[in-house]
Structure 1
Amino acid sequence: MEPIEYRNREARRALVLVVVSAVWGSVALVRLLRGADPGFFDALSIASLVLAPFLLNAGLGRITVDATGIHAWRPFARRTYHWQDISGITVEERTGRGYGAHRIKILRHGRRARFLPAPYVDSRASRRWYEELLTQAEDLRARHRAALADGSGRPGGGPASMG
C-alpha cells in the first residue's frame, strides 16, 4: 500500500493568523513591560498571543496513511491508529459556537472515537470541497478494508497465524 498524506486546506490561513497574533501580542507585551498604561487592545493582543498555539495546533494538522494505519500529526500531539484497532470511519459535522466543519471521525473497538486533524472542510465551503472530503473518507475506508483483508493491518504486518 502506497503511503498518502492529507493536509488541511486552512494551514496557510492558520499560519498567517498565528504570525499576526504573535507579532501583535509581542508588541503589546513589550509596551506593557516598558510601563505603558494597559488598554483594551493590549489585553486583546495578549489574549491572541495566548491563543496562538491552539490555533497552530488546529490548523497545521495532517495525517499519513500507510499499511500499518493512520498516523495523525499536530504540532503538539502525534498518534497512530492501527488498522486492526479501527472499527469504522465516518464523516461528521462538528459544530461549536456557530462555526462548523465536516471532519473525518474514526471509530475504535472499545475506545473513544477520534476526529482526525486532517482533512476537514468548513461547513460553509463549496460543494466540490465537501465531495472531495467524502472521496478522501471513502479512500480511507477502502485502505482499511484492504489492510484487514490482506493482514497488513495486524501487528507484525503479516497474515494472522491460524494456530
Structure 2
Amino acid sequence: MAVTSTYRLTRAQQKNRFTILGVMAVVMAVGWTAITGGHRPSNPWGLGLFEVPFALFLLLVALDALSRSVVGDAGITLRRPWWRSRYSWQEIADIEVFTESARGSSTTRVRIRTVQGKRRKLPAPMTSGMYRSSVDPEFAAKVQQIRDRWQAAVAASPVSEDADR
C-alpha cells in the first residue's frame, strides 16, 4: 500500500498571503486612479496596459498559495496550479533547508537538488518570520519526515552494476 504525505501552507500562511494580495490590489488601484485622474482607457474592456499584467501577477501569486508538495513511495511531486513536477527518490541528490531574506524578513524553505544539479523549491513546508502566524511550529518535523523517506527509499533501492565500474 502506497503511503503519501501532502504538505501545504498552513491556513495562517495562506490567509497572510491573501491579505497581502488584497492590500496590494487596493493600494495599486488607488494609486492607478490617482495617476490617471480616474480616466479609463478607450478600449472595449476598459483596461490599461498596467492593469492586465498586474491582475495576472495577483492571480499567479494567489494560486501559488494553493500549491503543495506530495511525498510518496516513488518520490516527490511538486503540485502547482499551472504545472506539476515529479522527482523519483533516485533523481534526488540532496534535500536542503535554506533561508531567503528580503526587506528585513526571512523565510525558511526546503529545496531538492537533483543528481543533474537542478534545484527546485518545495511549495511547502515553509516557515516565515514575517508574521507570527506564518511560523510553522511543525516545520522541522516535516523536513525530517521528508528526509527520512528519501534516505529510506535510496537505501532500499538496488545498486546497479554500472555504479561499481
1:32 aligns with 2:33: no
Quote the residue 1:6 is aligned against: 7
Letter in 2 for 1:11: Q
Q: Structure 1: 5+ residue runs without aligned partners?
A: 152-158
Is the 8 Å Cα contact of residues 14 and 60 (structure 1) preserved in structure 2? no
Letter in 1 for 2:5: I
Equivalent pairs counted in the alignment come to: 146
Q: Structure 2: 5+ residue runs without aligned partners?
A: 34-38
- Give TM-score, length-normalised by structure 2: 0.68
Out of 91-100 and 71-80, give the one that drifted further: 91-100
Where do residues 1-163 of structure 1 align in structure 2 (5 Å cutoff)? 2-9=3-10, 10-15=13-18, 21=25, 32=40, 48-126=54-132, 129=135, 132-151=138-157, 159=158
Out of 1-10 and 61-70, give the one that drifted further: 1-10
Out of 9-18 and 111-120, give the one that drifted further: 9-18
SS at match of 2:144: helix
Is the 8 Å Cα contact of residues 90 and 137 (structure 1) preserved in structure 2? no
SS at match of 1:73: strand
Residue 54 of structure 1 and its aligned partner are, at CA, apart by: 2.4
CA 1:107–1:66: 2 relative to 1, 3 Å: same
CA 1:33–1:43: 2 relative to 1, 3 Å: closer
Residue 53 of structure 1 and its aligned partner are, at CA, apart by: 2.2
- Give TM-score, length-normalised by structure 1: 0.69
Residue 124 of structure 1 and its aligned partner are, at CA, apart by: 3.2
SS at match of 1:121: strand
Out of 67-76 and 109-118, give the one that drifted further: 109-118
